[in-house]
Amino acid sequence: MGVDFIYPEFEVIRNESRCIACRVCERQCSNEVHAWSERRGVMMSDESRCVNCQRCVSLCPTRALKIVRSDCRLRENANWTDATIKEVYKQAGSGGVLLSSMGNPNPLPVYWDRILINASQVTNPPIDPLREPMETRVSLGKRPQRIERDDEGGIICDLQPQIELSMPVMFSAMSYGSISYNAHASLARAATELGIMYNTGEGGLHEDFYAYGPHTIVQVASGRFGVHEDFLNAGAAIEIKMGQGAKPGIGGHLPGAKIVGDISRTRMIPEGSDAISPAPHHDIYSIEDLRQLVFSLKEATSYRKPVIVKVAAVHNIAAIASGIARSGADIIAIDGFRGGTGAAPTRIRDNVGIPIELALASVDQRLRDEGIRNDVSIVCGGSIRSASDVVKAIALGADACYVATAALLALGCHLCRTCHTGKCNWGIATQRPDLVKRLNPEIGSERLVNLMNAWRHEIKELIGGMGINSIEALKGNRLMLRGVGLTEKELSILGINHAGE
């Protein structure tokens, strides 16, 4: 090998006065950074392999370790930044497309952080969630446009199929294959206990998880992996994946090395073969084609399951959503450009798509203007990080939110963004049995349940403060939001006033 142009990104700092040479770090690092040196009588580290996942830091019993960013920098240059230059080095060395994982880490605007929430003072009383009942339940699906009555005057109640949720949050699509069996088990158990949904992603549903069907959304993507009649009927709803926020315009790709054992069986493809989902659905080139798939799926499930169409937030999202609403879909899921992924080409992840806040506001407005807002529910995702993001999303017009990154964080993910290497030290984005084992679903599901219960409580406090006692009454209530530091154009797309107005 010639010269390595890239100096390691991180330094492994070991406090020698604390290290007891237990070698726990060595056993726990799948990147083989740490090693005991018999000759030197100390632990050594090869920091060039470190991805800063902090597994060793978390398990070291004497807190002897920390990982810091190396301060070995190339000469300052505002145009050719350190990261940009190193990407060029990498590509000059490999000749390949750069790969990345998780969501876009670049400092593009996060509109949630520039939107503030209202509270009641004096003239309208706030509500205390500890003293008064509050409703966080929502149902997703088509709403009737008007109340119809029979001859006796009774209300005709023939609702289209709905998804019932105890709170307006669901775990979004992550396939079995991109994440581990134990990660799926944690999500499935937690969704069931919480009365919400998790999503199979595009790799089919492992036979062990059919039991969680009433809390499962089954996904049909362009590769159709693992799709069959029982699968479609197993879940509470079916999602057609047209696109994903992290990589709009391309399909999923799970390398053959990960298609082993149960994953190959669940996906219904041979072991070792790459699972490459085409960029388009080869049978969908128009809204009419989409309508055919929506109704094929409804037909296959006897019109008992709502159909979700998931798209990435892109430039013409409002017009696209209007088309989807007319395709017969019950729910539109929009995924913003900060959404995560197990692997995506870096250039696509970091440069394609638009922020979810703007996409959501424009879709909600467009559907209202066209009088078809009640024909679909809107679910938004792509970096919903907290209860306040959820409340802001609902007020902007969402019926519910999809979260995935926050759920993985609850399971132990440290956002090292190297999922594509398949060596996740936290047992999440890996299929190596010794690593998968590190995520005990009993602990994982407890942590997910804790997180969502905490959010549920915070949501109640936030809406109670506004004097609102149900999610339903917050939906699309943009008067409850104000922008700070936003331009007229941004405010008009978001449909909110500036703070002080």
Partner 1 sequence: MRRVFVNEEWCLACHLCEYNCAFANSGMDDMVLALKGKPIFPRIHVEGDERISYAVSCRHCTDPICVKSCIAGALSKDGDVIRVDRNVCVGCLTCVLVCPYGALAPGPDGVMQKCELCLENSCGEPACVKGCPNRAIVYEERGERA
Distance CA 176, CA 262 (A): 9
b/e map of 93-106 (b: 16 or more CB within 10 Å)?
eeeeeeebbbbbee
- C-beta of 27 vs 73, nearer to partner 1: 27
Dihedral sign for Cα 409, 411, 415, 418, please: negative
Size of the site for ligand SF4 (CB under 6 A): 41
| Cβ neighbours of residue 429 closer than 8 Å, sequence gap 6 or more | 101, 178, 179, 180, 183, 342, 413, 419, 422
Q: Is 128 in the site for partner 1 (CB under 8 A)?
A: no
Give the strand pairing for 307-312 and 237-241: parallel
Q: Is 173 in the site for ligand SF4 (CB under 6 A)?
A: no
Q: Is 260 in the site for ligand SF4 (CB under 6 A)?
A: no
Among 283, 163, 160, smallest CA distance to 227 is for 283
Distance CA 455, CA 384 (A): 12
The one segment of 19-27, 138-146, 313-321, 447-455 that binds ligand SF4 by CB under 6 A: 19-27
Which residue among 1, 2, 3, 17 contacts partner 1 (CB under 8 A)?
A: 17
Distance CA 362, CA 379 (A): 14
| Cβ neighbours of residue 348 closer than 8 Å, sequence gap 6 or more | 246, 247, 248, 249, 250
Minimum CB distance to ligand SF4, residue 36 (Å): 8
Which residue among 6, 13, 20, 473 contacts ligand SF4 (CB under 6 A)?
A: 20
Residue 130, burial from CB neighbour count under 10 angstroms (0-12, 13-18, 19+): exposed
Q: Is 433 in the site for partner 1 (CB under 8 A)?
A: yes
Percent helix, strand, coil in the chain, to 5, is 35, 15, 45
Structure tokens given for 44: 């050594």
Minimum CB distance to partner 1, residue 189 (Å): 15
Which residue among 8, 9, 11, 19 contacts ligand SF4 (CB under 6 A)?
A: 19
The one segment of 125-133, 290-298, 433-441, 471-479 that binds partner 1 by CB under 8 A: 433-441
- The torsion angles phi and psi of 349, rounded to 5 degrees, stand at -55, -40
Q: Pattern 440-459, binding to ligand SF4, x per CB under 6 A?
A: --------------------
Dihedral sign for Cα 185, 446, 136, 117, please: negative
- Residue 417 touches which of ligand SF4, partner 1, none (Cβ within 5-8 Å per kind): ligand SF4
Contact (Cβ atoms closer than 8 angstroms) between residue 284 and residue 290? yes
**H helix runs in 383-469, sequence order:** 387-396, 405-411, 433-436, 441-465
Which residues 66-125 are close enough to bind ligand SF4 by CB under 6 A? 67, 101-102
CA distances from 472 to 81, 136, 151, 410, 501 (A): 47, 8, 30, 27, 25
- Residue 408 touches which of partner 1, ligand SF4, none (Cβ within 5-8 Å per kind): ligand SF4
Q: Is 496 in the site for ligand SF4 (CB under 6 A)?
A: no
Structure tokens given for 420: 């594509």
482 three-class SS: strand
Size of the site for partner 1 (CB under 8 A): 20
Minimum CB distance to ligand SF4, residue 17 (Å): 11
Which residue among 111, 209, 337, 426 contacts ligand SF4 (CB under 6 A)?
A: 426
- C-beta of 284 vs 436, nearer to partner 1: 436
- C-beta of 54 vs 322, nearer to partner 1: 54
Which residues 277-336 are close enough to bind ligand SF4 by CB under 6 A? none
What is the 8-class DSSP label of residue 424?
Answer: -
Q: Is 56 in the site for ligand SF4 (CB under 6 A)?
A: yes
For residue 381, list its beta bridge partners. 335
Which residue among 187, 407, 424, 471 contacts ligand SF4 (CB under 6 A)?
A: 424
- C-beta of 253 vs 417, nearer to ligand SF4: 417
What is the 8-class DSSP label of residue 259?
Answer: -
Helix and strand counts by DSSP (H, E) for the chain:
16, 21
Q: Pattern 36-65, binding to partner 1, x per CB under 8 A?
A: -----------------------x-xx---
Minimum CB distance to partner 1, residue 33 (Å): 16
- C-beta of 87 vs 262, nearer to partner 1: 262
Which residue among 4, 6, 7, 18 contacts partner 1 (CB under 8 A)?
A: 18
Which residue among 28, 166, 296, 386 contacts partner 1 (CB under 8 A)?
A: 28
Q: Pattern 442-461, binding to partner 1, x per CB under 8 A?
A: xx------------------
Distance CA 199, CA 168 (A): 15
The one segment of 19-27, 263-271, 390-398, 469-477 that binds partner 1 by CB under 8 A: 19-27
Q: Which residues bind ligand SF4 (CB under 6 A)?
A: 12, 14, 19-25, 28-29, 31, 33, 43, 50-56, 60, 62, 64-65, 67, 101-102, 408, 413-419, 424-426, 428-429
Contacting residues toward partner 1, per CB under 8 A: 17-24, 27-28, 59, 61-62, 433-434, 437-438, 440, 442-443
